[in-house]
Chains A and B, each alone.
Chain A
């Protein structure tokens, strides 16, 4: 059984704010949900499926109840793989629709990492052996960059090109957190955070969030919006698994990416636009290799000289400015990756970055921590 062309993303919404001192987290979930439903032309009463991450305060029952959705949901899922959750949920929502579990599925993300205390999670078994080390995303992703440079000669300047491309796109996004165009020199001269990653190799920390609505092709066609089909979605967990084998130059997308391509019946040559998870520049570079856009180790050469800039290079990526410049809400970049891919397929991206004849788009996610344990997800979307 396949999900190919059996579910459509019908509505999207990205919260315009990047700092939200005056809203509650619940209120933000409601705002983005309302925005996505209005964009689709659907009503709250139509929603019978609800998806969120494990970070939704109180859990999915409390969140659904706050939203007024209890008493109408026939399917719900808060499976959490960090920032990749929302790319994974593209697949889960489509599967639920194909299986007839729901007809209108809503997925929301919202939060305030700059002003609200982080959610404390029940620790895993590794806690005793890891919790004291102050491992945080910048220093843990740096471990991958260091090894990649060692094995393949990748340079800081090559990584910098990824940020440069994102900044070229962000200048056209009035809501982007960082709208200034930067150069390779700016990136490599920005303060070192965790060797070899500089400050400009890191994504923004932003508040707000986003939402999307998925439904059946029949309902989608009745709404009058451009159709965006889900072609495929795949996921893969990567971690230490006992520490016997470790290759930190590869992400889980090395499995989930090719699987998504195969199930969609397309190749990397068919991808006109890619939303590539960009928590850090190294995250993008490794995923480009893992997807098969180039060979392992050649990502540095692939991304340099503007190859990711829309209208300039071969692989336009993150045309909203991505997590590196626009928005990485709640430290979970998967939601905004889905939203910009839908804008591109609808032809609704900013005219300066809209990819001509954009018919097939890739969305990727790496959630958790790349070098410790992470969930990877890939989804292929198509203009209907």
Chain B
């Protein structure tokens, strides 16, 4: 776990996402799978946004995937940072920021892993790292 130097807003949690953030503190990357269409989606919703046929169920995901697209934001008061979309293995595309400091080696198709880094005394937040 990396301690980040940036100021991040307090994580906006709600009734639907509390389990995700509780699990995140244990390092578990949770997603929701639909028992009707058998697909996982992102970000987690109760009613499947893909088939709308069933209530989805939490499961742990390896967090592994690959870069679909990326950028490095150069004009930032807190220093450059990477941003992109990652295609999760067996699952959806996830809009995500790359782990602090990861700005030089980003490339479409590179393997990634989801990580949780501490952003305050209270919260961890989701980032992607190169696998």
Contact = CB atoms under 8 A, between A and B. Distances in A.
Contacts, number: 121
Given A134-B73, A192-B74, A243 B42 contact: yes
A185 interface: no
Interface in B36-67: 39, 41-43, 45, 48-50
A139 B126 CA distance: 18
Contacts of A248: 68-69, 85
B69 A146 contact: yes
Contacts of B84: 143
Given A131-B9, A135-B95, A126 B43 contact: yes
A310 B101 CA distance: 45
Contacts of A135: 83, 95, 97
A294 interface: no
Interface in B61-99: 68-76, 81, 83-85, 87, 91-97
Contact of A128 (B14, B69, B72, B76): B14
Interface string A112-137: 00000000000101111111111110
Nearest to B125: A132
A133 B83 contact: yes
Interface in A259-294: none
B119 interface: yes
A131 B81 CA distance: 15
5 contacts: A125-B43, A132-B8, A142-B73, A193-B73, A244-B92
A350 interface: no
A243 B41 contact: yes
B122 interface: no
Contacts of B74: 191-195
B49 A242 contact: yes
A202 to B, nearest CB: 10
Interface in B97-131: 97, 108, 119, 125-126
Nearest to A136: B73
Contact of B12 (A131, A143, A240): A131
Contacts of B91: 243
Contact of B96 (A133, A136, A197): A133
B92 A142 contact: no
A147 interface: yes
A246 interface: yes
B83 A195 contact: no
B19 interface: no
Given A128-B17, A135-B83, A248-B85, A243 B94 contact: yes
A372 interface: yes
A229 B17 CA distance: 49
Interface string A215-258: 00000000000000000000000001111101010000000000
Contacts of B83: 133-135, 139-140, 143, 194
B15 to A, nearest CB: 11
Nearest to B44: A129
B11 interface: yes
B81 to A, nearest CB: 7
Contacts of B75: 138, 191, 193-194
